[in-house]
Amino acid sequence: AINKPSDNVFSRTLLLALGRATPGAPAEPTLLRADRAVRGWLRSKGLNDDGLVLDNGSGLSRSERISPALLEGVVRAGLASRWAPEFLASLPIAGVDGTLRNRLTASPAAGTARLKTGTLRNVVALAGTMTDAGGQPLVVVAVINHDALRPRQMRPLLDGLIDWVARTRFVPVPAGN
């Protein structure tokens, strides 16, 4: 209900519900409890939350921040969790549904890449999973942040990157490297 249509109101509500469900002092603001809960989960997965800034939970904030490396870690944690099928089902499918229904329709990524989109006035992002031309599963995270560009100028660059990844056969990296 949140990821495919990128519902920012539900995202904010989910963050606040998480905060309300998190134990804390009676005077502790709900948003601070939510922040503590998110950081606790990230740390439990071995992810470094340095630089993470949560404001409204939807990403529609000029103050929110997440590094591409942390975003990759979140995707990997989702894929490794017992809830992986539900996590994958929540992500828009390139050329099929959600915020990607009209994007990458002529790409080999269509119908297979599952990517969450993110857009602000001067930022576009994609994060999720797809396969390369050899069928190797990949986690991809791409963010463009440029004050002089608008989403309509940046989206084709991200789509081109995803198309290139889908058309390229990458050499697997040995575990531990």
Task: Write down the pLDDT at residue 177.
Answer: 64
Burial group, residue 66, by CB count within 10 angstroms (0-12, 13-18, 19+): buried
Evaluate if residue 57 carries a pLDDT over 90.
Answer: no
- In b/e form, how buried is each residue of 120-137, taking b as 16+ CB within 10 angstroms? eebbbbbbbbbbbeeeee
Average pLDDT, the chain: 94
Q: What is the pLDDT of residues 80-107, one digit of tens each?
A: 999 999 999 999 999 999 999 999 999 9
pLDDT confidence tier of residue 17, bands split at 50, 70 and 90: very high
**Mean pLDDT across 45-49:** 97
Res. 162 pLDDT band, cuts 50 70 90: very high
Question: CA nearest 117: which of 60, 79, 174?
Answer: 60
Bridge partners (DSSP) of residue 138 are: 130
Predicted TM-score (pTM) of the model is: 0.92
Alpha carbon of 76 to those of 19, 64, 67: distances in Å?
24, 21, 14
Tally of residues, the chain: 177
Q: Hey, which residues does 88 pair with through a beta bridge? A: none
> What letter would DSSP give residue 129?
E
Determine the pLDDT at residue 174: 77
Element (H, E) at 126: strand 123-131
Min mean pLDDT across 48-52, 60-64, 128-132 is at: 60-64
Asked if 131 and 137 count as a contact pair (C-beta separation under 8 A), the reply is yes
- SS3 per residue for 21-65: HCCCCCCCCHHHHHHHHHHHHHHHCCCCCCCCECCCCCCCCCCCE
